[in-house]
Chains A and B, each alone.
Chain A
Amino acid sequence: EAGVAQSPRYKIIEKRQSVAFWCNPISGHATLYWYQQILGQGPKLLIQFQNNGVVDDSQLPKDRFSAERLKGVDSTLKIQPAKLEDSAVYLCASSLRTGNGYTFGSGTRLTVV
């Protein structure tokens, strides 16, 4: 089966600019997650979708981050405006059913200068 697709792989922007990341999960996976992985740290959950509904966005900085999953399939994560501390790898993951383990995409490495 095809894996979780993410684009772009790399992005460099200046602070205060906006950026968007795209994720296409494995076909049929109802649950989709966005994680932020800062260098030297473990991934931190930003938002979890079940189909097109938000299950958990408690750690999403809502003043600058937004995410949507229209039609319960692919998803976009947006940052506007970006800060230097947003430099990280943004990982998308999906799962078929709970407790089965996530499948992660390769991530988007964001550098804010």
Chain B
Amino acid sequence: AQSVTQLGSHVSVSEGALVLLRCNYSSSVPPYLFWYVQYPNQGLQLLLKYTSAATLVKGINGFEAEFKKSETSFHLTKPSAHMSDAAEYFCAVSRASGTYKYIFGTGTRLKVLA
């Protein structure tokens, strides 16, 4: 079975500060891991994905995440927050084979303070 835990349902950062959104996963098989962003009244947009290649993954809008197998983590970071980063962020895990259905975390709402 697979699961995802996102620590912190709400995170606030100042504009220009480091963004760190935490994601821990549980998987009995090699996982694929994803981060998605959701703006109000919109669907989910893929930020980045880990599919067993490089452990440090760079995505869109300056975000990156590092796969750490020993810590079963896939935290999302951005060096400098921008007001436009305010949104809800979802971490997801899937099997690296089989049906590939995604199991999503409960989401973290990021607020950026001026």
* Interface residues, chain A, with chain B CB atoms under 8 Å away: 4, 31, 33, 40-45, 48, 55-56, 91, 93, 95, 98-107, 109
Whole-angstrom CA separation of A85 from B114 in the bound complex: 37
A24 to chain B, nearest CB (A): 14
CB-defined contacts of B92 to chain A, threshold 8 Å: 42
- B47: nearest residue on chain A (CB-CB)? A101
Whole-angstrom CA separation of A105 from B51 in the bound complex: 23
CB-defined contacts of A104 to chain B, threshold 8 Å: 36, 43-45
In the complex, the answer to whether B32 meets A91 with C-beta atoms within 8 Å is no
In the complex, the answer to whether B44 meets A98 with C-beta atoms within 8 Å is no
Whole-angstrom CA separation of A45 from B94 in the bound complex: 12
* Interface residues, chain B, with chain A CB atoms under 8 Å away: 4, 32, 34, 36, 41-46, 49, 51, 90, 92, 94, 96-97, 99-107
A-B pairs with beta carbons under 8 Å apart, 13 shown: A42-B90, A42-B107, A43-B90, A44-B104, A45-B102, A45-B103, A56-B101, A91-B43, A91-B44, A101-B46, A103-B46, A105-B43, A106-B41
In the complex, the answer to whether B43 meets A42 with C-beta atoms within 8 Å is no
- B45: nearest residue on chain A (CB-CB)? A104
In the complex, the answer to whether B44 meets A101 with C-beta atoms within 8 Å is no
A1 to chain B, nearest CB (A): 14
Whole-angstrom CA separation of A41 from B103 in the bound complex: 12
Sort A-B residue pairs by CB-CB distance and give the 10 closest, nearest first. Answer: A42-B104, A104-B43, A98-B100, A104-B44, A101-B46, A106-B43, A99-B51, A43-B104, A45-B101, A42-B106
